[in-house]
Chain A
Amino acid sequence: MSDRAIAWLFTAPTLILLLFINIYPLIWSVYLSFTNYKANRRGVEIAWVGLKWYKKILTDEDVWANLQVTAHFLFWTILLQGLIGLSLALLLNKKFKGHEVFTTIVVLPMMLSPAVVGVFWTYIYQPQAGIFNYIINFFHDFGEFSMIADVSLAPWSIIIVDTWIWSPFVMLLCLAGLRSIPDYLYEAAEVDRASKWQQFIHITLPSVLPFLMLAILFRGIENFKMFDMVNELTGGGPGSVTELASIHLKRAAFEKWRTGYSSAFAVILFVTVFGAGNIYVKFLNRIKEK
């Protein structure tokens, strides 16, 4: 067989499968977003409704509320995970005895199924039998409270669990950044009698920054799509205070069966993620060039 034939033979199955399962549904979504189709009413003729759903979504106050919930979740998870992840990486980079074993233990929550872990956190958050409330009340007695049922606490309940799961992810990336710094930079700094603090500001931080940004990019995209953990932990409630974009989409698509509307919402989400991701990557490349 010629190399050319092998090249196509090897890559074609993957590309065809992706086209069939990823691109075809995407195009279909775009089409459905202009129609009044409802997946639970089959046999009804599909009518073209134009931009109706897009107009509705962009002017709907509930949707803006969802996006605010998503933004709140994104802001705090990224901030907390960035801080905790970077700190953990700096600490583990001290290479104390047993640091490799500890790295593996720290990473564990990240590898477990967020949905299954999310269910278990409803037990941890129980007002009476839950260990979370018990520990909080041990330090300061707030009496009985429910992280999940309380409107002002529920958004924090998902932020805490997400941070617990994903801080190790940021840590791993920052650790890679720290290990990529060549020794001679510090040696030169020592010769120049730069203080440890100066070394940290001028060598460590700039070297880690691209890795930290990459971690934030990954976390931003992933949390914008967040569904599994939150769906099991709060299900979007109470009311809709933890109804992230994906949860809103699931409710519209699979509970209210508003297929046209939810397809339009899906398209908007996709364009947002894709656009934000692209802008961010450009920004990241500029930092790397410096």
Chain B
Amino acid sequence: MSHSLDTSRSPLEPSSRSKKIAAVLIILYVLITIIPLLLIVMTAFKSVPDAITYPPKLIFKPSLEGFVNLFTQRTRQPKAYLESLPPAATWYEKIVRKRQMVIAGPSRFFHRFVNSIAIGFGSTFFSVFLGTLAAYGFSRFRIPAKDDLLFFILSTRMFPPIAAAVPIFLMYRTLGLNDTYLGMITLYTVVNLSLSVWLLKGFIDEIPKEYEEAAMVDGYSRLSAFFKVILPEAAAGIAATAIFCLIFAWNEYAFAILLTFREAQTLPPFIPTIIGEGGLDWPAISAATMIFLLPVVVFTILLRKHLLRGITFGAVRR
């Protein structure tokens, strides 16, 4: 063994130089990849003319026009009429008046937002509820052709949503379920069931069987052992699964655009249709996108320890 050998650090630990290079490259990647997200936030606070100037404006006077446009419907009025009106009473009316318009009423955004919340949370509840039961069943009991059934559950995900949409559209039309909460919640529940069963089975598999067996020796029935022992143990896993289901339902677009029109339309098909005068209203779209994406960003940060598991259906657990 030579004396010059550096023993201050393990040979497995990357050298500080390679760490620095890695950090610089990652920061570079992050700077590039974050541009679209920063641009969404910036554009949300731009005025309409600032959003479409050439070259793109990096420094601009912040404006809430996008948000005002997002939440209101406006009509253009002749100058004489505008001058005959009493002065604008609120800050948002002032912004609208500047564009020679008056507020005609609230926009449909809030309604679509409520739809997204209701359908997202509704379907998440059912897919996690049913998924927990099924996962426990598959984890603990002998079920004939268990592996085949589990593969069948997973394979429902391979079907392209557009291919599934044709017969579901026809079936829903017969049942009167197109464009209804009931129809969309049922559909999203089923779409998320495969994920929910597979993820939760992984989480429940990790709870030793001895826990509930001990409880059953103490006089618990199988059912009460499930409720009093397994559910609390699996709580973190159930929460992570719920967040994944919620994100998928929140983001879902293909079924939403084909099966909903007015009553049950969610935000993903609605946001692209926000138009102002002479085309898409970019500040309003950005404002909507920002409001739409923010919860997902928060959830992603909460989920960071379980991300890998969630996106691979529990195939890779780390």
Contacts and interface: CB of A to CB of B under 8 A. Distances in A.
Given A96-B19, A270-B160, A17 B301 contact: no
B52 A249 contact: no
Interface in A116-156: 116-117, 119-124, 126, 128-131, 134
Contacts of B307: 107, 172
B270 to A, nearest CB: 10
Contacts of B197: 14
Given A14-B134, A94-B22, A115 B35 contact: no
A120 B23 contact: no
Contacts of B143: 7, 11
Contacts of A44: none
B60 interface: no
A232 B54 contact: no
B214 interface: no
B167 A3 contact: no
Interface centre among B56, B143, B173 (most CB of A within 10 A): B56
Interface in B129-176: 130-131, 133-134, 136-138, 140-143, 149, 152-153, 155-156, 158-171, 173
B23 A96 contact: yes
A91 B26 contact: yes
A214 B315 contact: yes
Interface stretch (B62-70, B104-112, B234-242, B292-300): B292-300
A119 B272 contact: yes
Contact of B134 (A11, A25, A270, A277): A11
User: How large, as a class, is the contact surface on chain A?
Assistant: 35 or more
A116 B162 contact: no
A53 interface: no
A279 interface: no
Nearest to B254: A227
Interface of A: 1, 3-4, 6-11, 13-15, 17-18, 21-22, 24-26, 28-29, 32, 39, 88, 91-92, 94-100, 102-117, 119-124, 126, 128-131, 134, 164, 169, 172-173, 175-176, 179, 183, 186-187, 190, 211, 214, 218, 221, 224-225, 227-228, 231-232, 245-246, 249-250, 253-254, 259, 262-263, 265-267, 269-270, 273-274, 277
Interface of B: 11-12, 14, 18-20, 22-23, 25-27, 29-30, 33-37, 39-40, 43, 51-56, 130-131, 133-134, 136-138, 140-143, 149, 152-153, 155-156, 158-171, 173, 186-187, 189-190, 193-194, 197, 221-223, 226, 247, 250-251, 253-254, 257-258, 267-269, 271-272, 280, 282, 285-286, 289, 292-293, 296-297, 299-301, 304, 307-308, 311-312, 315-316, 318
18 contacts: A7-B140, A10-B134, A21-B186, A25-B164, A29-B163, A88-B29, A112-B297, A113-B251, A115-B253, A117-B289, A119-B271, A173-B308, A176-B308, A179-B318, A190-B12, A218-B311, A232-B272, A253-B166
The 5 closest A-B pairs by CB, nearest first: A266-B163, A25-B167, A10-B137, A113-B251, A115-B253
